[in-house]
């Protein structure tokens, strides 16, 4: 299966990318490479023939249309986000504040 995965350079997305490649899927990783991204997390699959990286902001509809037309994925997994859970923990003082504010 060819999976178009957004946020594949993030914490969760990169783990899914590695798992999907290990299970024999094709992966198109669409990530804008914001502050939260870390391409080191997908370095182990970067040269794999089933892996493609597209640096695209998913808010850019024209660019995203181009990615869909180019790769014709079978499925989409949307994991791009501004969340960056680690940073949330640093910016807010305590776990209680983080979860209940």
Ligand X SMILES: NC(=O)c1ccc[n+]([C@@H]2O[C@H](COP(=O)([O-])OP(=O)(O)OC[C@H]3O[C@@H](n4cnc5c(N)ncnc54)[C@H](O)[C@@H]3O)[C@@H](O)[C@H]2O)c1
50 binds ligand X (CB under 6 A): no
Q: Which residue number, 26 or 80, has a Cβ lying nearer to ligand X?
A: 80
Q: How far is the CB of 79 from ligand X (least distance, A)?
A: 5
CA angle 59–1–22, rounded 5-degree value: 95
The only residue of 3, 4, 6, 54 in contact with ligand X, by rule CB under 6 A: 6
Quick one: which H or E segment has residue 26? strand 26-30
Which residue's entry shows tokens 């501004």? 82
71 binds ligand X (CB under 6 A): no
């Amino acid at each position: 299966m060819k999976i178009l995965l957004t946020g594949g350079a993030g914490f969760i997305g990169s783990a899914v990318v590695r798992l999907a490649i290990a299970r024999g899927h094709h992966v198109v990783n669409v990530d804008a490479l914001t502050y939260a991204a870390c391409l080191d997390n997908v370095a182990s699959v970067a040269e794999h023939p089933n892996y493609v990286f597209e640096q695209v902001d998913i808010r850019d509809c024209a660019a995203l249309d181009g990615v869909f037309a180019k790769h014709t994925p079978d499925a989409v997994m949307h994991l791009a986000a501004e969340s960056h859970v680690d940073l949330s923990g640093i910016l807010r003082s305590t776990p209680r504040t983080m979860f209940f504010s």
